[in-house]
Amino acid sequence: MNVMLWIVQIILAAGFVYSGWMKTIRIESSTKTWAWVNDVPKSLVVLIGIAELLGALGIVLPWALNIAPVLTPITAIALAVVALLGMLFHISRKEYREIGVNIFFIVLTLIVAFGRL
């Protein structure tokens, strides 16, 4: 079980690093990749990206370093909320093909949250 949770945590960290990187550092690229980025304030996109980058650290480091490991499931729940809000945003814009990624990340974050509690 522990190995499976580590694999899921690494997948989540990689996914959120990619997404956060695109929203903070490569924001011009993300405007071409994601249509919604053009319709919301740039500061909101950057804020979401920062939250995702911090979440990527929080999903791995506390458990790996055994420093406040309770932060790992808390981070997983917070990232599930971020993905859920993203899914609701896409649903409101009728971007239904975008919600598959959100559902995938919600499921993985909840696996980590319950597995690490």
What is the pLDDT, as a whole number, of residue 19?
94
The DSSP string of 61-98 is: HHHHHTSSTTHHHHHHHHHHHHHHHHHHHHHHTT-GGG
Close Cβ partners of 46 (under 8 Å, ≥ 6 residues apart):
23, 24, 27
Task: Kindly report, residue by residue over 3-42, the tens digit of the pLDDT.
Answer: 999 999 999 999 999 999 999 998 888 888 888 888 899 9
pTM higher than 0.75: yes
- In total, the chain counts a number of residues equal to 117
Average pLDDT of the segment spanning 59-86? 96
Q: Identify which has the larger pLDDT, 34 or 103.
A: 103
The CA–CA distances, whole Å, from 34 to 23, 31, 37, 52, 82 equal 10, 6, 6, 16, 17
- Cα Rg for the chain, rounded, in angstroms? 14
Between helix 99-116 and helix 2-24 the angle, nearest 10°, is 140
